[in-house]
């Protein structure tokens, strides 16, 4: 079963009115956890790998693990996505490797830390779109800058320093032709997003709603959208961890986003917490154990449980079998003949 493009997967999500979780992976157990959750809930899947993940696992291992997933679960559409590409070259190498979707995060310079200016972002993103669409591959861009740091990538600071300007979002989407757009509405990467349960003063859902109204054809993406549940924090701390008290993005806010054009929701921290809590528990309760399977299996189960819960909450559950997968060649044709254009002026409303 070939991998599906993220564009097709998100177009279907828009038709069905649901969101799709994009879960980060670094190793076999995480991929297995996602696929078992997808099978249990009958969900389409976005698996994403950051630059850090590609370095950690090595490209070939990662790619073949994903192919193994596609082979073992032919009934599940799987999109393989490069998370936070920092340059044209990173995106190009992902496409050459066989990823069906890339994020060009042109909101930051190639160092992954310094915010760019608008024109720089448009230019590098447009270049990636031209290259990717010719090959039928999906592109996600980012306008505005998220807070925090993810895998060494990020501007740091709070999520409110560079929130997305709706006028810029519209101009950016029109000039680049991205399929999906990550916007900054106050969220941050990592575990420490908010110091209390977020309200409208720190989580700008009204901004998201406005951008969707003006860009109805562009799929919106929420980054930094782990919910950082209290029970997962508690397990980590109960078994010797030291997490400071923190709040993530409540699931009901994500669901409000999904009702307003959010089709992709990035979740990583929650899975990291679930895995770490499960491993700490085994170490604390049975210190005599030393077979890695004794703690990796509960870790995998804990991640599967979390992913399965999110798939249900985002609404993707039950939708794996809704459509026949299009190949990248089909998608390339759609970009060429204009039928996949996201430009409001071309396709109208
Ligand atoms: Zn991100």
Read off the pLDDT of residues 173-199 as tens digits, 9 standing for 90 and up: 999 999 999 999 999 999 999 999 999
- The residue-averaged pLDDT of 162-182 equals 96
**From the CA of 310, how far away is ligand 1's center (Å)?**
17
What per-residue confidence (pLDDT) applies to 1?
64
Under a CB-based contact definition with an 8 Å cutoff, are residues 46 and 23 in contact? yes
Q: Is residue 266 part of a domain?
A: yes
Which residue in 11, 83, 151, 270 is the catalytic one? 83
- pLDDT tens per residue across span 132-157: 999 999 999 999 988 887 777 788 88
Q: Is residue 262 part of a domain?
A: yes
Mean pLDDT of the chain: 94
- pLDDT tens per residue across span 202-255: 999 999 999 999 999 999 999 999 999 999 999 999 999 999 999 999 999 999
* Percent of the chain surpassing pLDDT 70: 97
Q: Is residue 315 part of a domain?
A: yes
Q: How confident is the model at residue 346 (pLDDT cuts 50, 70, 90)?
A: very low
Q: Is residue 198 part of a domain?
A: yes
Q: Is residue 1 part of a domain?
A: no
What per-residue confidence (pLDDT) applies to 161?
82
83 included as an active-site residue: yes
Q: Near ion ligand 1, which residues have CB within 5 Å?
A: 223
For residue 299, the enclosing domain spans 6-334
**From the CA of 251, how far away is ligand 1's center (Å)?**
17
- The residue-averaged pLDDT of 260-289 equals 98
What per-residue confidence (pLDDT) applies to 172?
97
User: Which of the residue ranges 78-87, 144-153, 169-178, 252-261 would you say has the lowest mean pLDDT?
Assistant: 144-153
What per-residue confidence (pLDDT) applies to 160?
83
Q: How confident is the model at residue 344 (pLDDT cuts 50, 70, 90)?
A: low
Q: How confident is the model at residue 66 (pLDDT cuts 50, 70, 90)?
A: very high
**From the CA of 284, how far away is ligand 1's center (Å)?**
32
**From the CA of 24, how far away is ligand 1's center (Å)?**
10
- The residue-averaged pLDDT of 81-85 equals 97
Query: What is the CATH classification number for the domain harbouring 107?
Result: 3.20.20.70
Q: Is residue 326 part of a domain?
A: yes
Is the pLDDT at 349 greater than 60? The verdict is: no
What per-residue confidence (pLDDT) applies to 299?
98
Strand partners, 194: 247
- What's the number of domains the chain is made of? 1
Q: Is residue 339 part of a domain?
A: no
Q: Is residue 216 part of a domain?
A: yes
**From the CA of 173, how far away is ligand 1's center (Å)?**
18
**From the CA of 339, how far away is ligand 1's center (Å)?**
29
**From the CA of 151, how far away is ligand 1's center (Å)?**
9
Output the pTM of the full model.
0.95
**From the CA of 149, how far away is ligand 1's center (Å)?**
9
What per-residue confidence (pLDDT) applies to 347?
43
User: Which of the residue ranges 35-39, 194-198, 290-294, 330-334 would you say has the lowest mean pLDDT?
Assistant: 194-198
Q: How confident is the model at residue 86 (pLDDT cuts 50, 70, 90)?
A: very high
């Amino acid at each position: 079963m070939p991998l599906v493009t993220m564009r097709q997967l998100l177009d279907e999500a828009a038709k069905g009115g649901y969101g799709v979780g994009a879960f980060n992976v670094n190793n076999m157990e995480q991929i297995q956890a996602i696929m078992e959750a997808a099978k249990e809930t009958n969900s389409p899947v976005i698996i994403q790998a950051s630059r850090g993940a590609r370095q950690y696992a090595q490209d070939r291992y990662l790619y073949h693990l994903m192919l193994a997933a596609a082979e073992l679960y032919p009934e599940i559409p799987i999109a393989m996505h490069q998370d936070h590409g920092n340059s044209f070259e990173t995106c190009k190498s992902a496409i050459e490797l066989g990823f069906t979707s890339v994020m060009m995060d042109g909101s930051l310079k190639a160092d992954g830390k310094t915010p760019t200016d608008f024109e720089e972002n448009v230019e590098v993103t447009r270049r990636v779109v031209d290259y990717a669409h010719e090959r039928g591959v999906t592109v996600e861009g980012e306008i505005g800058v998220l807070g925090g740091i993810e895998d060494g990538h990020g501007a740091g600071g709070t999520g409110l320093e560079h929130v997305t300007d709706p006028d810029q979002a519209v101009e950016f989407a029109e000039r680049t032709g991205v399929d999906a757009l990550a916007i900054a509405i106050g969220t941050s990467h990592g575990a420490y997003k908010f110091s209390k349960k977020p309200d409208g003063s720190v989580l700008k859902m009204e901004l998201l709603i406005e951008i969707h109204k003006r860009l109805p054809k562009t799929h919106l993406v929420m980054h930094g959208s782990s919910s950082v549940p209290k029970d997962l924090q508690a397990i980590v701390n109960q078994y010797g961890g030291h997490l400071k008290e923190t709040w993530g993005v409540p699931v009901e806010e994500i669901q409000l986003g999904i009702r307003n054009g959010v089709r992709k929701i990035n979740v990583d921290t929650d899975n990291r917490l679930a895995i770490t809590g499960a491993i700490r528990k085994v170490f604390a309760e049975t210190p005599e154990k030393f077979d890695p399977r004794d703690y990796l299996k509960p870790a995998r189960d804990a991640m599967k449980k979390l992913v399965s819960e999110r798939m249900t909450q985002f609404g993707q559950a039950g939708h794996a079998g809704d459509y026949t997968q299009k190949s990248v060649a089909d998608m390339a044709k759609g970009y060429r003949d204009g039928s996949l254009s996201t430009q409001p002026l071309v396709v109208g409303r």
